[in-house]
Structure 1
């Protein structure tokens, strides 16, 4: 937020110097991003009054006849669209240096242009370069140096966090500084209050999102340039001066924090304003000339004949807007629901100064005060003020919060007396009473961020000073209720470390996807959709991780080797859950002195096995019993189910060629996805045996569709306590093995607490042979 230091100084006479404010604002939680010094108007630039403004034939220029205090007026040519007679301008006569150039006299079609009429940007006092700096006629004697009217200014750029909407104004920031530094606050000038019981408009609240609406009116306004002091503060805040009506509205928004809207009374002859719901597909032309399509439930302001004159709190419509020739106007000062307004503004792509304040929270009680203040400024500008006012609706009353001082001290870890707590809260504008040892606190209406006792405690700590917190070592307290959370967090950490140790890189993708991306990846279509998506490719919550990994792979197509993983939440129809996904593309190791180590399904599977081993987990990958059960996005012949510590956790496989083509994948891609939490392994301590092992070899002949994992599972289940391990050491197909079958030779290791004899091992081995035959397989006997 940009604000002139002199404005704050006017409200806080004892305010420290700008550079001394930097540490103060930092301790207040409002860091000072920059201190900008805006120079005075350049030397040599004079105040002049335009007597005539005529177009220059054959060009888009206008010739101004300007009085600058000399005996004869001078002529100046300008292309500014806002040039007109009867106003004051900034004139840089010949010899003046503007933006590094020395001005002279130019001849254009027989007309001598003596210097230049300047814009705010050319003067170095603002960023607006689309027109002249227009000043009210009579602001000074023609020929007065502009630097006397427009002195140098210091501007503070204060960072305001989203929860501190109360400081998005000069009064709000001054109020917080006064509370923090114990300074005297001088409130802004008083407003022009209406006469009680006199209405001036018919205001109707037809939408629940509009809970306060104040209407006032003025007439006979000469809608020319606004006074210099208003323009100076607007330009310092980054706003462009336009005319009295608009500038006064913007000024009060900067001063008090209340956005308002002005309407030309010629378009509201019936003096009717209604805050009502928009109809589906209804359109409105905004002040920016763009057409906006509304949705049912958007809040709009309607005037005569039900015509829209504004999108509530966001943007005015062309119909009803204030023009340069507006003399009679109607003012709207209202309060709208910030959530509803934010949804509409984001969907329409509108980010105005009013939206910036409304979506963070505007004081619901501020509308009457802001309306009165605007009426006073319009009266000073020469308008006649209607003594009546219409005030419709009332926001919900402020909630009373109970704050136990002992709880506050325990939470903060430092001793703050009850009286000091009460004093701090009262300096912030709260009403405080003490009842049975508890502070009953009613937050001020402008502090829309104070909802809980903890919010009050935070304010107490902020004003007491975080630097007063005692330095202590942290204390670790482990609660039994948190053990599951700690275990889950540890599992996530260890899983990430294991894959990172194997060369994978972690990625963090958006949790959003689209129907098009889900269809291309053959993922489950999303069911949770966003009402206001930021972009067309992020319209719903994802149902799996692998489409995002494929997108990351595509973006990094230039990388010859890619190993990535992601841990995040997914939102399938079965319910929200956490998942872990990984992707491999390209060689496992790049070529160097030797050839590259090619990647493939078994290389990818070996990485998963290595990660499981590092985590002390038992892992197995089993084929799908039926190809129809293979996920649609995987190659039907290169896919498997992942079992982690005996429980099915997810899938692994190669990306289906059709999906690869749909997602523009040029290389073979291998994917893994597991749902979390992974099954834990129950550990028991066993004293390792010192006895030697006894080995047996068993060659099992089984159909090709029988996986190695199924064989090992059977042997482990039936081997009993003596079977220590079972590992394959040979696979054979061919004569004399029947067609469609294979022989898998498995080495069985038996070990006991003592040296095993044949009499111990032979019965177990015979039992395993019987179970293999009972499973429908055969045994290849030694030749």
Structure 2
């Protein structure tokens, strides 16, 4: 939102600099995003002065040029060659002096230089109005009628004044500040001064010869409607002062009637609409909704299909003239031929306007304010202000009584406020008198005052102040955030409880993670075969929960493990030629121990077949243990930031695998399923399985975000090839590297493993990369070499490794 500083000064007495005003407004909640100089004429006529032509003779070497001497207020007259046909001795003219830059209408700018034109010296330029941006005429130079002394700046003659435009990042809740008066109200409160509202004392009704009847059928959508007619107007270009006001804030002037309504809109925040009164059929205005799909052509000449909830301003024949509070129509708007005007000033429901503007994708200055909430109490004031202004600019007479339909007055918001809550939320005790002073400066009245509390009566234009916390915020923003001292120990307070962890949302998050990595969710029966517990070494038949009224022997017990129902699903799919499987299941396991029934939530993950389907770019390969490990780590790291302890396992039901421990509790067990077990269940291909204790994982889940600043210093990579015993695993290498890499080791990775003829049969070779980085400075070769030497020495002494060079 743009605010003109010159315009703002009409309503509030401010002597502070633009920068000081910006700080004041930002402190009160109207954040100033920037200050911009506005020039009514580009360049501000800098370097242009009033001059007098002392002599004028024909150029000796050009028929269409004249040689003049011009008094521009210096010690000596300036010689200027001029090509205008109307230049003559004795004229007062506008002169662009040497060094001035001109911005001609429709052309590129250029700088005035001392020159020779056909052999004659020229020190300046006598200007036409289009050459300095004051008009479009190029018939000849401008001849002035003035007694101002020669050398007077041209900007003074043309009464040009620079302006400062304040760009405010208006938040959606502050509709009350969407005008110059609205901003002035905040400055009034901050500076403890007064707002000077424009006077409408000279408003008077000249006659009642052109009365138009108004009927409001939908009072929910239009609680208040005010209107008046002005007859005998002359629609023409607006005066320069009005155009300057509007252009400063980015509004394009149209004509004196429409500009007057726009001026009042940005002055006090009340949208208005001017109709051509002669186009109001039946001399009747009806505020109503029209049937669904009714067509209406708006001012942008687009035909729109209306919703049944779109509030319309209609004529006596129920034809739409304007979408209420949003956009006018083509037929009823003010034109050059308009002589009689019906002026509307209304309060429309924000809900109706918001829905209509959103549906038709129409965002106007009026809808911007209506959909956030305007002031229902100023419709008549705005009407008087605009009608008086139109009469002053376009002539005519006010030709009807003020129509004001306001069946049910909109009441102030009454908000109970406790003094203890003011102190609690602000964090500082503010004296009662100061609290009341601030609220009164904000037009908030005090009612039912007691030692503990009071009622704040908030005017309806403050739609953002309807709760106790809102009133306290108003007190604080005027009292000043910077006036609340920080205590020795900082604490915080809040108005709402923090929600507990939602198990369902967490499960949905992990489901989306797995699905995005190509997994399918399965759901299996919790009832299973008793024979699994009889045959499997990892299950105990004594702990099975037996079903008393079993449907069949195959569904006789509750499952102790997720594995076997998953193997049945894999077998079912493989027998139907779906051999590449990625499956997961959230389920429960059941057991009975010492008479107690135990129920656990688990997450099971299964992988078998090839890592991807065959394609012409990449050769496919069989699923490996590390494919499963990668997925498990994705799941765990999504919910935990703690480092887990890893232990290799060969326990049933795995041929080989890994256990992940969290504070000595088994969180995950995963690996390649025992070959004898898969064969017994009918599977003829390897399957990898992970079992995650979902209850334990959720219990230890933390919501803390762990992050660190990205270093601005480069990383360095170094590679080593180690020949080590086959029994040494990567975890041992990683721990040694972390212990000896000092603070420079960021990551370690195996990128190749070799076992074969060129090394002993009980040995293997690891190719390992090390990423080094210093967060405070760039690593030097000396530091890098020292770190790598220490790592190699540790690998040789602790693991008996041979460093291949």
Range class of TM-score, shorter chain: 0.5 to 0.7
**1:697–1:243: structure 2 CA closer, same or farther, 3 Å change rule?**
closer
Deviation sequence 1:565-612 (CA, Å, 0-9, x none) = xx5xxxxxxxxxx97535666xxxxxxxxxxxxxx879xxxxxxxxxx
| Distance in 1 of aligned mates of 2:607 and 2:686 | 24
TM-score normalised according to structure 1 size: 0.57
- What is residue 462 of structure 2 aligned with on the other side? 447
Q: Is the partner of 1:366 in helix, strand or coil?
A: helix
Paired position in structure 2 for 1:647: 601
1:384 and 2:316 are equivalent in the alignment: no
Displacement of 1:149? 2.7
Cα offset, 1:387, TM superposition: 4.2
Aligned partner of 1:9 in structure 2 is 9
Q: How much does 1:6 deviate?
A: 1.1
Q: 2:109 aligns with which of 100, 108, 113?
A: 100
2-structure distance, mates of 1:332, 1:260: 6
2:270 counterpart of 1:258: yes
In 2, the alpha carbon distance for the partners of 1:464 and 1:325 equals 53
1:412 matches 2:459 = no
Query: Equivalent residues in 2 for 1:433-444 (5 A)?
Result: 433-437=447-451, 438-444=453-459
Per-residue deviation at 1:217? 0.8
Could you say which residue in structure 2 is the equivalent of 1:205?
A: 216
1:744–1:24 distance in 2 versus 1, CA, 3 Å: closer
Cα distance change on mapping 1:468 and 1:653 into 2, 3 Å: farther
Structure exhibiting the larger radius of gyration computed from Cα positions: 2
- CA apart distance, 1:406: 2.3
SS of residue paired to 1:361: coil
Which residue number in structure 2 is paired with residue 557 of structure 1?
none
Q: 2:476 aligns with which of 458, 461, 464?
A: 461
Alignment of 1:515-664 (within 5 A): 567=509, 580-582=512-514, 623=566, 638-643=581-586, 646-647=600-601
- Do the aligned partners of residues 579 and 401 (structure 1) sit closer, same or farther apart at CA in structure 2, a change above 3 Å counting? farther
From the superposition, tell whether residues 222 and 642 of structure 1 become closer, same or farther in structure 2 (CA, over 3 Å).
same
Structure-to-structure mapping, 1:370-381, within 5 angstroms? 370-381=382-393
User: Could you tell me how far apart the structure 1 residues matched to 2:473 and 2:5 are?
Assistant: 28
Q: Distance in 1 between matches of 2:420 and 2:400?
A: 52
Within 5 Å, give how 1:288-307 maps onto structure 2.
288-307=300-319
C-alpha displacement of 1:345: 1.1
- Give me the whole-angstrom Cα distance separating, in 2, the residues matched to 1:660 and 1:305: 72
- 2:648 is the alignment partner of 1:731: no
Deviation at 1:650, TM superposition (A): 9.7
In structure 2, the CA distance between the partners of 1:202 and 1:639, relative to structure 1 (3 Å rule), is farther
- Residue of structure 1 in register with 2:440 after alignment: 426
CA contact (8 A) 1:8 1:174 kept: yes
1:285 paired to 2:300: no
- Contact kept, 8 Å, 2:207 with 2:397, in 1: the verdict is no
For 2:26, the equivalent position in structure 1 comes to 26
Q: Give the RMSD, CA atoms, in angstroms.
A: 5.5
Count of aligned pairs: 531
Shift of 1:625: 6.3
CA distance in 1, matches of 2:562, 2:571: 24
Return closer, same or farther for 1:649/1:230 CA change in 2, 3 Å cut-off: farther
**Shift in alpha-carbon separation, 1:97–1:627, aligned structure 2, 3 A:** same
Task: Please state whether the residue corresponding to 2:171 is helix, strand or coil.
Answer: coil
For residue 340 of structure 2, what is the aligned residue in structure 1? 328
| Corresponding residue SS for 1:442 | strand
- Counterpart CA distance in 2 for 1:33 and 1:478 is 29
Partner of 2:178: 168
Report deviation, 1:491: 10
Counterpart secondary structure, 1:440: strand
Shift of 1:291: 1.6
Matches of 2:344 and 2:191 in 1, distance apart? 35
C-alpha distance 40-372 of structure 1, shift in aligned 2 (>3 A): closer
1 CA distance for matches of 2:165 and 2:443? 27
| Structure-1 separation of matches of 2:379 and 2:200 | 14
CA contact (8 A) 2:443 2:459 kept: yes
Q: Deviations over 1:308-342 (max 9, x none)?
A: 11111111000101101211010111111212212
Asked if residue 272 in structure 1 is aligned to residue 284 in structure 2, the reply is yes
Q: Within 5 A, what are the aligned runs for 1:84-233? A: 97-98=102-103, 99-101=108-110, 118=130, 123=133, 145=154, 148-190=158-200, 200-207=211-218, 208-233=220-245
Whether contact under 8 Å (1:191, 1:369) holds in the other structure is no
TM-score normalised to the size of structure 2? Answer: 0.56
CA contact under 8 A between 1:36 and 1:155: conserved in structure 2? yes
Aligned to 1:474: 490
Rate the CA distance shift 1:142–1:731 in 2: closer, same or farther, 3 A: farther
> In structure 1, how many angstroms separate the alpha carbons of the residues matched to 2:571 and 2:373?
55
Distance 2:322 2:571 in 1: 58
Uncovered stretches (5+) of structure 2, i.e. residues with no partner = 51-83, 87-92, 113-125, 138-143, 149-153, 521-560, 589-599, 622-626, 641-648, 660-667, 690-805
How has the CA–CA distance of structure 1 residues 489 and 455 changed in structure 2, closer, same or farther, with 3 Å as cutoff? Answer: farther
Contact 2:165 2:248 in 1 (8 A): yes
Residues 482/33 of structure 1: CA separation in 2 closer, same or farther (3 Å cut): closer
Hey, what's the Cα distance between the residues in 2 that align with 1:361 and 1:478?
28
Q: CA distance change for structure 1 residues 252 and 739 in 2, over 3 Å: closer, same or farther?
A: closer
Contact 1:331 1:371 in 2 (8 A): yes
Deviation at 1:203, TM superposition (A): 1.6
Q: Which moved more, 1:232-241 or 1:278-287?
A: 278-287
Q: CA deviation at 1:14?
A: 3.2
CA distance in 2, matches of 1:738, 1:458: 69
Per-residue CA deviations over 1:344-403 (Å, capped at 9, x if unaligned) read: 212211111111111222112221111110111122122211241111134531222221
